[in-house]
């Protein structure tokens, strides 16, 4: 009996001890295998600019009133000391550059500017349309020394198109594709450009016609999806411009016509969430948050591109907040009386300004595109924003209230590289009394090292192979 | 006719305890011999009864034959004299001499009249009634089965090939003419020899079955030797049989007989091991040597045949027929006669009850089989489809399972783990375990697939079998089977393709079955009012089968080795007289697992490291990241179920909780408390194993594609389950045998709990197989995971390695250095310590192996990456898995790589510059590739200016290189590789890995496993063989 009691109690005791030991080490102590991160020195930077804009279609090759090809244009690349040809455009062994182009006549009359970026493997271009009178021309530049293969996915109002565009690009070359040749009658477009090899620099020429009148032309640069971003500048205090010649009846018709009303600037925000999202938009001005009747949560279906008109008549910025990463960009359209044409005609110029992440502090850089370019800065928090030059000297500063946008004067000259640290969103805007507008958004070139995280694993690890 | 003169001769050395009884029997004879000589050898003192008139003589003779000859030489002879040859352990019946004399008188041609030998202690049992031999091979065949009851059934016998001369009446004239006894036989087989001479010389040999002599067989049982028992004389008896065969063989049969010796010895050794009589096996092994020593005696015997004229023909009827030989083997070796005599036929009533019980058990088995088969199909459906489609099981922590048998065998034989950069493996046991699966038609791919598919089915059936030893309740057996076969951690292991834990789960229950049979822990059917019917005797074969099963379990999961050894020790202590049989179960796994223990000992005194090595994962498997106690208790992981079934989580824990609760409750049982206590000890060991596994680092990174992992607590959970089921089922077994309300309530309650547990187990299977579930991480893919030409580079003369890079969804890059078409963890891992010290083989210095991670990181991000490290480790090809466009971007820009091509299974780059190989001669200005295999290379002509032979594997003891047969000196290598100094002058260079410790272990393990394998064959043995 005693033996039974002792043995049974002993057995229960060892079971209890074992259970305690098991519970104490309920979870393994380590993450295994452990990923290893390394900082890799990046290769020497190289940038590419897409080059001059072209008349997409309809160049009848004639002069006079029906001439579509511009005859007066200037194209400048600022920043690098020297450039070289990269296909249709220019490249440079530098971290950043800016391209400005002023076209005085023809179908693509207007101003355009673009910050020339370094090759990337995955980038989004938010802008363009392929409806009647709209042309979207994709320019892909490969300034590197290795070939690349690019896959372009087109997103429209109905979501992503299944047929992708595959383009191989030789080193030092560029290719162009008219998106309307692939996807017609799309009122809103977002492109995703994925590249192999050394990556690619992508830019989108968004040119429009209103009848025979130019309705704006610009370059669209790369955007990045984010959950908390801001489009730093819309409207830009641009004013509709009456052309005196046109107003006085100096048209082809030769007949005197009454002056037409020139509409004010119009702003449209384009949104797309790759995985769907609920988005809240807020319009801010130099005074702060503006009331906006559409300023309520919008549900975006995955891959569906949505345009929303923004009612504003002065400098503004748009905050974009969402539960999932969203791409956003704003198009500002400025009207003017046409150089020639019917009395009722109105010409336009436009520009796209992409949204920038304002959640994470970053250092964004840009090159001053022109002496007259103005710098609009949005800050989500009250801060003194300092604009630093290439040698970190202060070339401009301003105290910006939280959730406001304002012009910040700078002393840097055309072609100078500037940068701003923090969580602000900003862009250069060039406007002219003639009714032209262009903008150049900054890019992040601050990455000193590339980070690679590697971990050992069996192969095949899953369904591969 | 006058009474013949009978000269009785009794030879004794005084050492037989039967002498006095023998002399007393002589006193009691109805008719006394004419004269009785008592020949005393060795100076012994013999007390001769006063009533016995005997001529006592003392001679100095080493053998019976010599003593007899010495007497006959001096005693003179009379006409018609009969010799009555007596031993000091042969007590004739009172009428024996009269009957022998009568027969001798009736059969004047008979040179000898033999007596019937009966047991010393039981005169009704026969020992010998004459013998014969087979015509070919001289197989000795007794004409009666030992211990057959004498009912006069053999009284008809007269002429036989031979009789025992002990107690036989021999005609003096013939005895002298035929050369007396042949001393060359050393006391065994001399009777047969003399009798056969008699027939060959034209005499008869007659048995008188009614003349009984009690024979103690002191010589046969070695009573006079230091170590007694029949086995002690086995070798000499076998040699004498060969002696007889050679002596009587015609000249042309001698060579075939010589060739037959090794075959016979080998077969007999195997048979003896299978009969679990290792001493007999050793005796068989000594036969050839003893036979060589006997050769002169054989030649003398053969010459004697001619000298005495014993060359005539012998009638065929006297020889043993084939049928007789077969029967004799069955009786003498396998004990069939003993068993048939010992078997008891139950009464008709009991038989009817047993038949009814058997019908219930059959229904239980049928139900279990059907449900287990369906469950196996449901769980393994994807695997089945893959196998049929020619695909293989793969996935995280597994890699490829399509490995050639040669690859598996090389790993098992050499111990070298050709994984990543390679390493001296602790042992090749796991690969050895995989070898039978690799031998499947279709290779390891099919073998592992079949294992994973069939394991729930097999586990359930084995559990049903095992449960039958603890309880005869049919429903409880079925419930135990379903719970064990569908144990959630076990199913998770199947779905994750954790081959080791799966094998261990199945092997543990097989070990439980075998252990129960070895120790005789089994219950009989209840008949005639809850009385247990007799059960078979404990089986030594089952003991070795248990050893084999435990070995499988501990090789598959080394973490089980020490806990199982402790459990066996405890169970052995409970096994009474069979304790050594039970304890012996641990010997085989310990021998096989010795390298693991040695590797752990080398890391002492760091307890954590020692524990980790002992809990290493030798095969495929991912790191475990859950809660160990949940797994230990067998709780189902609901994340594997369809998301819609998440609310059913309580069902997933019912089985485990019910079984554990029953096990703990069983300790209260008065009748089964020992079984319950043993079960709880096993449970406790299981819990400890689960905790140990989860906490241990089951494998350390090798810097080339194998990362560190934590162990899988599911193995401990299997042990927990075995213990719990032993306790619960054992208690139920006693419930069945009890009478009264208390027992009835217990039976009903246990049936209800069993129903709930079994139902929950079946539900878990349904949930796991439900559409939308994610049963596990294992997947099925095509057998070729690398682009077509790449494996050719791996298997070519240069034996290049391949670096595979793949992008994960979250921006990380995985890398793996492959020597085969996919990771080969299915046959073992690279076995390194935490600081890069080799764990296996003879150990060795810690080699600072740089991980490949920095090179990989740079290569996948920068086109300017320096890839020379790849070349230095024999990596000539880089493959980017599908989806790695970013990686390709960097590699495309790298000037030291050339894009070879792309396919749907990867993009291939080749390292520029050529000459990438596993081994090479490094000279001042070039590298010359050396022909290489996995663990050897060459011969390759070395450069005349000399240089260094570099083998791109981490340095380890066991690597040697020769230049024209002369050993080369090792030199230090800055990267920690194997390097040898190659002197100038040129010559053929070869290299090889052969670790001496590995070799010793290999053969020791082979011997142990072979012993267990042969011994586990349930070959029965006769009483004679067992003695």
CB contact under 8 A, B673 and A35: no
Average pLDDT over residues B419-428: 88
Residue A454 has its nearest CB partner, among B400, B629, B856, at B856
For B405, the enclosing helix (H) or strand (E) is helix B405-414
CB contact under 8 A, B822 and A459: yes
Judge whether B815 is closer than 8 Å to chain A, CB to CB: yes
Rounded CA gap, B799 and A271, in Å?
A: 55
Q: Is residue A445 part of a domain?
A: yes
Q: pLDDT-derived band of residue B136, with 50, 70 and 90 as boundaries?
A: confident
Which of A265-269, B144-148, B536-540 has the weakest average pLDDT? B144-148
How far apart are the CA of B912 and the nearest CA of chain A, in angstroms?
16
Which residues of chain A are modeled with pLDDT < 70?
Answer: 27-32, 57-67, 242-260, 293-295, 447-448, 462-465
Q: pLDDT-derived band of residue B850, with 50, 70 and 90 as boundaries?
A: low
Closest-CA residue of chain A to B672 = A4
Domains of chain B: 6-308+317-340 (3.90.550.10), 348-392+401-414+425-536+623-777 (no CATH), 786-821+850-911 (no CATH), 919-994 (2.60.40)
Highest-confidence range of B9-18, B365-374, B537-546, B620-629, by mean pLDDT?
B365-374
Residue A461 has its nearest CB partner, among B396, B629, B786, at B396
CB contact under 8 A, A456 and B786: no
Highest-confidence range of B444-448, B623-627, B738-742, B830-834, by mean pLDDT?
B444-448
Q: Is residue A200 part of a domain?
A: yes
Q: Is residue A388 part of a domain?
A: no
Average pLDDT over residues B235-256: 92
Q: pLDDT-derived band of residue B534, with 50, 70 and 90 as boundaries?
A: confident
β-strand pairing of B204-215 with A213-220? unpaired
β-strand pairing of B813-818 with A450-456? parallel
In the three-class reduction of DSSP (H, G, I as helix; E, B as strand; rest coil), residue B679 is classed as helix
How far apart are the CA of B829 and the nearest CA of chain A, in angstroms?
11
Which pLDDT does position A257 carry in this prediction? Answer: 47
Chain A residues lying within 8 Å of B673, measured CB to CB: 4, 7-8
CB contact under 8 A, A28 and B694: yes
pTM: 0.80
**Residue B878 reports pLDDT greater than 50:** yes
> Phi and psi for B340 in degrees, rounded to 5?
-65, -35
Q: Is residue A417 part of a domain?
A: no
CB contact under 8 A, A146 and B892: yes
**Residue B167 reports pLDDT greater than 70:** yes
Average pLDDT over residues B846-857: 77
Write b or e for each residue in B577-608: b if 16 or more Cβ atoms lie within 10 A of its Cβ, otherwise e: ebeebbbbbbbbbbbbbbbbbbbbebbeeeee
CB contact under 8 A, A26 and B629: yes
Residue B684 has its nearest CB partner, among A18, A451, A461, at A18
Which pLDDT does position A67 carry in this prediction? Answer: 60
pLDDT digits (tens, 9 = 90+) for A285-308: 998 888 875 557 899 999 999 999
ipTM: 0.76
Q: Chains A and B: how many Cβ contacts under 8 Å? A: 247
For residues B146 and A134, which has the higher predicted lDDT (pLDDT)? A134
CB contact under 8 A, B674 and A7: yes
Q: Is residue A367 part of a domain?
A: no
Which pLDDT does position B832 carry in this prediction? Answer: 83
3-state SS track over chain A: CHHHHHHHHHHHHHHHHHHHHHHHCCCCCCCCCCCEEEEECCCCCCEEECCCCCCCCCCCCCCHHHCCCCCCEEEEEECCCCCEEECCEEEECCCCEEEEEEECCCCCCEEEEEEECCCECEEEEECCCCCCCEEEEEEEEECCCCCEEEEEEEEECCEECCCCEEEEECCCEEEEEEHHHCCCCCCCCEEEEEECCCCEEEEEEEEEEECCEEEEEEEECEECCEEEEEEEEECCCCCCECCHHHHCCCCCCCCCCCCCCCCCCEEEEEEEECCCEEEEEEEEECCEEECCCCCCCEEECECCCEEEEECCCCCEEEEEEEEEEEEEEEEEEEEECCCCCCCCCCEEEEEEEECEECCCCEEEEEECCCCCCEEEEEECCCEEEEEECCCCCEEEEEEECCCEEEEECCCCCCCCEEEEEECCEEEEEEECCCCCEEEECCECCCCCCEEEEEEECCCCCCCCC
Q: Is residue A192 part of a domain?
A: yes
CB contact under 8 A, B816 and A456: yes
Average pLDDT over residues B82-108: 93
Q: Is residue A92 part of a domain?
A: yes
Average pLDDT over residues B523-529: 80
Chain B residues lying within 8 Å of A459, measured CB to CB: 399-400, 705, 785, 804, 806, 814, 816, 818, 822-823, 881
User: Considering its fold, how many domains does chain A have in total?
Assistant: 1
Rounded CA gap, A220 and A183, in Å?
A: 18
**Residue B341 reports pLDDT greater than 80:** no
For residues B229 and A276, which has the higher predicted lDDT (pLDDT)? A276
Residue B623 has its nearest CB partner, among A33, A43, A460, at A33
Q: Show the domain range for A438.
A: 46-351+433-452
E-only strand ranges, B519-611: 526-527, 531-532
pLDDT digits (tens, 9 = 90+) for B674-689: 899 999 999 999 999 9
Q: Is residue A121 part of a domain?
A: yes
For an interface test with A, give the residue of B723, B812, B864, B878 to mutate (most A CBs within 10 A): B812
Which pLDDT does position B525 carry in this prediction? Answer: 85
pLDDT digits (tens, 9 = 90+) for B346-403: 778 888 888 988 999 999 999 999 999 999 999 999 999 999 999 999 988 888 999 9
For residues B408 and B735, which has the higher predicted lDDT (pLDDT)? B408
């Amino acid at each position: 009996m005693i033996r039974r009691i002792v043995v049974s109690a002993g057995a229960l005791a060892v079971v209890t001890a074992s259970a305690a030991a098991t519970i104490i080490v309920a979870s393994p102590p380590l993450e295994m295998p452990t990923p290893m991160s390394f900082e890799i020195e990046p290769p020497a930077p190289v940038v590419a600019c897409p080059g001059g804009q072209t008349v997409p279609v309809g160049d009848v090759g004639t002069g006079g009133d029906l001439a579509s090809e511009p005859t007066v244009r200037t194209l400048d690349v600022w920043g690098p000391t020297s450039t070289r040809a990269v296909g249709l455009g220019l490249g440079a062994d530098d971290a950043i550059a800016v391209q400005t182009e002023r076209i005085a006549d023809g179908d693509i009359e207007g101003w355009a500017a673009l910050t020339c970026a370094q090759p990337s493997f995955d980038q989004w271009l938010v802008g363009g349309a392929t409806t009647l009178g709209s042309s979207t021309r994709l320019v892909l530049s490969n300034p590197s020394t290795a070939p690349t293969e690019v896959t372009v996915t087109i997103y429209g109002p109905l979501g992503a198109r299944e047929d992708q565009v595959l383009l191989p690009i030789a080193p030092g070359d560029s290719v162009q594709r008219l998106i309307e040749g692939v996807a017609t009658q799309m009122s809103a477009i977002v492109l995703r450009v994925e590249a192999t090899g050394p990556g690619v620099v992508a830019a989108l020429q968004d040119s429009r016609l209103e009848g025979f009148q130019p309705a704006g032309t610009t370059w669209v640069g790369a955007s990045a999806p984010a959950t908390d971003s801001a489009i730093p500048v819309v409207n830009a205090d641009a004013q509709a411009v009456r052309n005196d010649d046109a107003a006085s009846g100096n048209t082809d018709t030769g007949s005197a016509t009454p002056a037409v009303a020139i509409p004010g600037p119009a702003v449209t925000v384009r949104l797309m969430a790759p995985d769907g999202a609920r988005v809240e938009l807020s319009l801010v001005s130099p005074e702060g948050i503006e009331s906006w009747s559409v300023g309520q949560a919008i549900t975006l279906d995955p891959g569906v591109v949505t345009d929303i008109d923004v009612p504003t008549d002065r400098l503004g910025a748009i905050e974009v907040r969402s539960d999932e990463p969203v791409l956003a960009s704003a198009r500002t359209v400025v009207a003017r009386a046409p150089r020639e044409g019917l009395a009722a005609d109105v010409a336009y110029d436009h520009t796209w300004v992409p949204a920038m992440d304002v959640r994470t502090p970053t250092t964004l850089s840009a090159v001053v595109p022109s002496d007259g370019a103005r710098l609009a800065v949005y800050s989500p928090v009250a801060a003194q924003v300092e604009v630093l030059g290439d040698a970190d000297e202060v070339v401009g500063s301003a105290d910006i209230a939280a959730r406001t946008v304002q012009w910040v004067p700078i002393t840097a000259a055309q072609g100078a590289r500037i940068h701003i640290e923090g969580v602000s969103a900003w862009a250069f805007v060039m406007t002219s009394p003639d009714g032209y507008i262009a903008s150049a958004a900054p890019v992040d070139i601050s990455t000193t090292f590339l980070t690679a995280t590697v971990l050992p694993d069996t192969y095949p690890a899953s369904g591969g192979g | 006719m006058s009474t013949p003169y009978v000269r009785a001769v009794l030879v004794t050395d005084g050492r037989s305890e039967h002498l006095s009884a023998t002399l007393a029997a002589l006193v009691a004879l109805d008719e006394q011999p004419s004269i009785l000589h008592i020949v005393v050898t060795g100076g012994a003192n013999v007390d001769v009864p006063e009533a016995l008139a005997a001529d006592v003589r003392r001679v100095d003779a080493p053998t019976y034959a010599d003593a007899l000859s010495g007497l006959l030489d001096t005693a003179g002879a009379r006409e018609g004299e009969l010799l009555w040859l007596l031993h000091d352990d042969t007590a004739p019946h009172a009428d024996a001499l009269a009957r022998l004399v009568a027969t001798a008188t009736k059969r004047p041609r008979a040179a000898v009249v033999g007596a019937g030998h009966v047991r010393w202690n039981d005169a009704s049992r026969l020992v010998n009634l004459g013998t014969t031999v087979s015509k070919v091979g001289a197989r000795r065949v007794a004409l009666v089965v030992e211990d057959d009851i004498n009912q006069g059934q053999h009284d008809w016998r007269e002429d036989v090939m031979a009789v025992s001369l002990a107690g036989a009446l021999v005609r003096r004239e013939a005895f002298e003419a035929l050369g007396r006894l042949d001393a060359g036989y050393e006391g065994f087989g001399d009777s047969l020899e003399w009798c056969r001479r008699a027939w060959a010389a034209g005499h008869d040999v007659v048995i008188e079955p009614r003349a009984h002599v009690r024979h103690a067989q002191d010589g046969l049982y070695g009573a006079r030797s230091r170590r007694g028992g029949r086995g002690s004389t086995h070798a000499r008896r076998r040699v004498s049989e060969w002696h007889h065969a050679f002596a009587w063989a015609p000249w042309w049969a001698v060579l075939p007989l010589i060739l037959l010796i090794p075959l016979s010895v080998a077969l007999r050794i195997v048979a003896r091991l299978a009969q679990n009589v290792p001493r007999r096996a050793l005796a068989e092994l000594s036969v050839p040597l003893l036979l060589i020593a006997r050769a002169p005696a054989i030649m003398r015997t053969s010459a004697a045949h001619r000298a005495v004229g014993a060359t005539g023909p012998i009638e065929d009827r006297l020889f043993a027929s084939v049928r007789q030989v077969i029967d004799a083997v069955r009786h003498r070796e396998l004990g069939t006669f003993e068993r048939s005599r010992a078997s008891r036929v139950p009464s008709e009533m009991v038989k009817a009850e047993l038949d009814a019980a058997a019908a219930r058990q059959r229904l239980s088995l049928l139900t279990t089989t059907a449900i287990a088969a369906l469950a196996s199909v449901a769980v393994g459906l994807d695997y089945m489809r893959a196998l049929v489609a020619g695909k293989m099981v793969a996935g995280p922590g597994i890699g490829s399972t399509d490995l050639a048998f040669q690859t598996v065998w090389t790993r098992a034989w050499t111990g070298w783990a050709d994984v990543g950069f390679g390493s001296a493996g602790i042992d090749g046991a796991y690969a050895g375990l995989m070898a039978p699966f690799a031998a499947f038609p279709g290779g390891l791919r099919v073998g592992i697939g079949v294992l994973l598919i069939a394991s729930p089915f097999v586990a359930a059936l084995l559990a049903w079998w095992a449960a039958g030893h603890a309880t005869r309740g049919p429903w409880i057996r079925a419930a135990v089977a379903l719970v064990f076969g569908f144990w959630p951690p076990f199913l998770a292991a199947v779905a994750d393709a954790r081959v080791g834990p799966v094998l261990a789960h199945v092997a543990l229950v097989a070990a439980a079955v075998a252990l129960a049979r070895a120790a005789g822990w089994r219950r009989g059917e209840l008949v005639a009012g809850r009385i247990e019917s007799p059960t078979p005797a404990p089986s030594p074969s089952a003991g070795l089968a248990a050893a084999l099963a435990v070995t499988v379990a501990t090789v598959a999961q080394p973490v089980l080795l020490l806990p199982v050894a402790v459990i066996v020790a405890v169970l052995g202590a409970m096994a009474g007289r069979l304790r050594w049989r039970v304890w012996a179960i641990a010997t085989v796994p310990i021998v096989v697992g010795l390298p693991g223990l040695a590797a752990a000992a080398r890391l002492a005194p760091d307890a954590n490291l020692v524990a980790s090595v002992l809990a290493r994962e030798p095969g495929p498997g991912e790191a475990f990241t859950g809660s160990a106690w949940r797994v230990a208790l067998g709780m189902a992981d609901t994340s594997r179920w369809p998301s819609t079934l998440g609310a059913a989580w309580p069902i997933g824990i019912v089985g485990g909780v019910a079984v554990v609760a029953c096990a703990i409750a069983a300790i209260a049982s008065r009748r089964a408390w020992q079984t319950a206590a043993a079960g709880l000890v096993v449970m406790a060991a299981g819990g400890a194993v689960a905790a140990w596994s989860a906490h241990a680092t089951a494998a350390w990174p090798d810097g080339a594609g194998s990362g560190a992992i934590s162990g899988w607590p599911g193995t401990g959970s299997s042990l927990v389950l075995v213990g719990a089921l032993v306790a619960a089922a054992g208690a139920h077994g006693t419930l069945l045998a009890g009478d009264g309300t208390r027992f009835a309530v217990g039976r009903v309650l246990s049936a209800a709990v069993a129903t709930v547990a079994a139902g929950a187990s079946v539900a878990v299977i349904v949930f796991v197989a439900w559409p939308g579930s994610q049963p596990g991480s294992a997947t099925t893919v095509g057998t070729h995971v690398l682009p077509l030409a790449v494996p050719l580079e791996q298997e070519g003369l240069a034996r290049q390695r391949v670096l595979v890079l793949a992008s994960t969804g979250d921006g990380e890059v995985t890398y793996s250095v492959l020597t085969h078409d996919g990771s080969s963890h299915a046959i073992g891992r690279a076995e390194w310590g935490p600081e890069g010290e080799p764990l296996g083989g003879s150990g060795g210095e810690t080699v600072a192996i740089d991980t490949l991670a920095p090179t990989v990181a740079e290569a996948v991000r920068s086109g300017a990456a320096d890839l020379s490290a790849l070349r230095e480790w024999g990596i000539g090809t880089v493959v980017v898995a599908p989806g790695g466009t970013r990686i390709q971007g960097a590699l495309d820009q790298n000037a030291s790589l050339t894009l070879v091509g792309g396919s749907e299974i990867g993009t291939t780059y080749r390292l520029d510059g050529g000459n990438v190989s596993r081994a090479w001669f490094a000279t001042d200005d070039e590298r010359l590739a050396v022909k290489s295999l996995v663990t050897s290379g060459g011969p390759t002509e070395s450069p005349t200016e000399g240089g260094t032979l570099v083998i791109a594997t981490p340095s380890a003891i066991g690597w040697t290189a020769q230049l024209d047969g002369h050993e080369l000196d090792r030199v230090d290598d800055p990267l920690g590789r194997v390097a040898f100094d190659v002197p100038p002058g040129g010559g053929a260079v070869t290299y090889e890995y052969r670790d001496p410790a590995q070799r010793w272990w290999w053969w020791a393990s082979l011997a142990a496993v072979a012993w267990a394998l042969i011994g586990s064959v349930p070959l029965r043995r006769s009483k004679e063989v067992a003695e």
